[in-house]
Amino acid sequence: MNKDSILECLIKHNKKKIFSLEDENLRKYNSQEIKNLVFNIIDKFKKKKIKKVIIFSDNSLEIIINIFVLSYFGCNLRIDDVNTSDKTFKVKFLEYYKKNDLIFLPEYIKKKYKFFLEPYKKKIQIIKINELNKKKLYRTNKNLIFKNIFFNNTTSGTTANPKELKIDAKNYFKRAIYAIKQYKIQKNNTLIISTPLTHSLAIKVLFISLKLGAKLILLNKFTAKKWIQIIKNNMNCVSFLTSSQIKNLTESQFYKKIKSNNIDSIISCADKLDLIIKKKLISNLKNFKAIKFYDTYGTTETDGISSYNVLNTKLPLKSVGKINKSFDIKIFKNGKQQKPNIIGDIYCRSPLICELEKSKTSKNFFIGQYYKTGDQGYINNKKTLFFTGRDNNIIIVSGINIYAEKIEEIIKKSKLIEECIVVGMKNKNFGQLPMAIILLKKNNNLSKKKVEDFIDISFSSYEKPRKIIYVNNIKRNKLDKINRKFYNKNYSNKFLSL
């Protein structure tokens, strides 16, 4: 058998009666039940040639079952969220139908679009979760060879410029092993997936669980209430969370509702964590001596580049930590390597870099073995990495680079502001000027006046947002990150006159 096979891990853990899945409704499925359903589905397709498959679902359990099935065939797999408008679903379905051998759909979608899907039923496979209870036992042939499976994702740069990536099972297993060592994860830990399985972070957590045989809990749609309930019902939890999710949990004062042995580690991923949130967590988790809280930085292409335990560090809290072992970072500007403390393009040499499109392997994306991350930052004299912003979020005012993330960080220091995003608008005299889109905690004229006074005294003339728009909500993507693509598209090409 292939040591890098997902299905091989399931079979191994089934013999040892370890590894189990649990959904957010606390329904539990052991490895034997999962194996039974998986091989039941495999039997239907054994004689077919399956090379390309799309899993079109919003149910994490369905997706994982299908991943096990498809690892038998060694195909190229794409995962997409079915929870879209009727028009978008139909357009995507027709596109996927032409390019794939099989389309996996939830049962309720088949019923909802019954007449539309009828002409295409030959390629459609429906997974019924209630079949997990089948009593038929499958004995695995020891000579079975499970092939490598490739995950095709468009998660890199989703908030600004989505890119096609291919990460195979071998690479995911390497990333899982690295994370296990880095965060000292053990098989008695309970792992929690809090992001959609359309994202590479969730897939990595699945591989960590499989490698260790650890219990895995699937949280289909994150809410602070659901997460806290799961934590309270388990011990030694390891949870990979986005910065927005951590902000929600902090506002819910999760630390008052759990015990110290409920959590082993919280790992912040997928976006920069606000300095204000870090300080709140340090203050409120000081009595939870066993808990580890990691802030991290990385990309989908390279995996995690840097990290540090915020609760036990002498590193500057504005940093994203020390460079991880076996990784290396260099800062370049116009092709020249920069000295410490000088901002430039972050380039990374990674032992875990995934397969890239041919268009992404050119000199524009590499200097030697160092990959251009698309981020700006600097390294200080002590080899600590600081992230200053995305390339796409730089606002150039009269030739001076302004970082939207820096302006947002300062604006959010006001206790009147719930959320803020800064974008650059065109201007005939200055090239670009910053504008701020603000969500207030209390939307009234007094709050607006105080916020505008705060902005007036907080920025130099070229950094100061010259226009402020107040909104009732901030648009976010599936990872609950601010949807910068939407705001850049709607404002960056418009002119702002003074």
Cα–Cα distance for residue pair 438/397, rounded to 1 Å: 21
Q: Rounded to 5, what percent of the chain is helix, strand, coil? A: 35, 30, 35
| Neighbouring C-beta atoms of residue 192, cutoff 10 Å | 26
Q: Do the bridges between strand 417-427 and strand 400-403 make them parallel or antiparallel, or are there none, so unpaired?
A: unpaired
Do the beta carbons of residue 464 and residue 439 sit within 8 Å? no
**What mean pLDDT is predicted for residues 477-495?**
83
**What mean pLDDT is predicted for residues 329-341?**
94
Q: Any idea what the Cα angle at residue 330 is, between residues 329 and 336, rounded to 5°? A: 170
**What mean pLDDT is predicted for residues 97-123?**
90
**What mean pLDDT is predicted for residues 235-251?**
93
Residue 157: pLDDT over 90: no
Q: Which value, to the nearest 10 degrees, does the dihedral of the CA atoms of residues 145, 146, 148, 154 take?
A: 170
Q: Any idea what the Cα angle at residue 17 is, between residues 189 and 233, rounded to 5°? A: 40
pLDDT tens column, 61-84: 888 888 888 888 888 888 888 777
pLDDT tens column, 15-33: 555 566 777 666 777 777 7
Residue 219: pLDDT over 70: yes
What's the mean pLDDT when you consider all of the chain?
84
Q: Do the bridges between strand 237-242 and strand 190-193 make them parallel or antiparallel, or are there none, so unpaired?
A: parallel
User: pLDDT tier at 160 (50, 70, 90 boundaries)?
Assistant: very low
pLDDT tens column, 410-454: 999 888 998 999 999 999 889 999 999 999 988 777 788 899 999
| Element spanning 318, H or E | none
What backbone torsions phi and psi does residue 35 show, to the nearest 5 degrees? -60, -40
User: pLDDT tier at 158 (50, 70, 90 boundaries)?
Assistant: very low
Residue 371: pLDDT over 60: yes
Q: Looking at residue 390, what is its pLDDT? A: 87
Do the beta carbons of residue 193 and residue 205 sit within 8 Å? yes
Helices (H) and strands (E) in the chain, counts: 14, 26
Do the beta carbons of residue 38 and residue 65 sit within 8 Å? yes
pLDDT tens column, 115-146: 999 999 889 888 776 665 555 555 555 444 55
